[in-house]
Amino acid sequence: MDVDQVAEELYALAPGSFVAARDERAAAARREGDAAAASAIKKLRKPTTSAWLANLLVREQADGVNELVELGSGLRAAQRALAADQLRDLSRRRRELVDALRHAAQEAGRRAGVPVGDAAADEVAGTLEAAVADPEAADMLRSGRLTSPLRYAGTGFGGIPPAPVDPGAGAGTGIDAVTRPGHPRPGGGAGSRRPDTAARSAAATAAKEAARRVAAAQENVTATTRELADVGAALDEATARARDLERQKGAVERRLADADRQLR
């Protein structure tokens, strides 16, 4: 029995039908004498409601899911370049796609007779956001076989490491010159000294602390850049909404003026 094909069929089913269908497929594999397939099928985990909805989106809304995942590459490139305008445009599109797919998931659940509350819908949105931020999460989503929702706990977008810092960068800049008085280095001349182990250890600790601070600062830059892009996108949307309201106001004022003239 083809376990891959069975898994593909099972993860397309609503959660309420999963266990019975899985056990039936496992029993069929045992009847066929395929103990390995039966064991593999039996180990397939039932998806949560939000994971099932995400799997359903991969099957029914493949274009939208693929566009969202591909946005991740663009966002990472724009973030590396600190391209605020591009980040703002891509972030706006990201929010539009996540909102549209979240709604599509709720509709898909309704059609399947599975109630989808706000908590499950939020988990779907979180899974989609994780797929944008982390290429590994994107691959997991695209597999269509999630058993639980995905969450991205990092800062910014996955695949963007902080600026590298070499903890041993102090070599040749004074660290090796710290020596213990009165102890020449092996094979050295009169001025040669053996390195002071305690001093070298302290220097290494200081270098690691510096690396940690640089990494934290880089994460802060990443978070701030993303926040700036989101705020900029929200400002653009608010500005567009204000223009729409201004046009509506003008139209209402013109109608009032027409009505006033007719009244007079």
Last residue of a domain, which of 142, 173, 206?
A: 142
Instruction: Quote the number of domains for the chain.
Output: 3
The per-residue pLDDT for range 200-219, each reduced to its tens digit, is: 666 667 666 666 665 555 55
3-class SS shares of the chain: helix, strand, coil, % to 5: 70, 0, 30
> What's the confidence (pLDDT) of residue 127?
94
Strand partners, 195: 179
CB atoms within 10 A of CB 4: 10
Identify the H or E element spanning 258: helix 197-263
Q: Do 94 and 62 have their domain in common?
A: yes
Residue 246 has a pLDDT of 78
pTM of the predicted protein model: 0.58
Kindly write down the DSSP assignment for every residue of 107-161, as one continuous string: HHHHHTT----HHHHHHHHHHHHHHHH-HHHHHHHHTT--SS-----SSS-TT-P
Q: What is the pLDDT of residues 182-202, one digit of tens each?
A: 333 444 444 444 445 666 666
> Given the structure tokens 């070599």, which residue do they identify?
171
| Residue 34 lies in domain | 3-42
Whether residue 129 sits in one domain with residue 105: yes
Q: Are residues 108 and 194 in the same domain?
A: no
Domain co-membership, 210 together with 247? yes
Q: How many Cβ atoms sit within 10 Å of the Cβ of residue 38? A: 20
What region does 161 belong to: left with phi over 0, alpha with psi -120 to 50, or beta?
Answer: beta
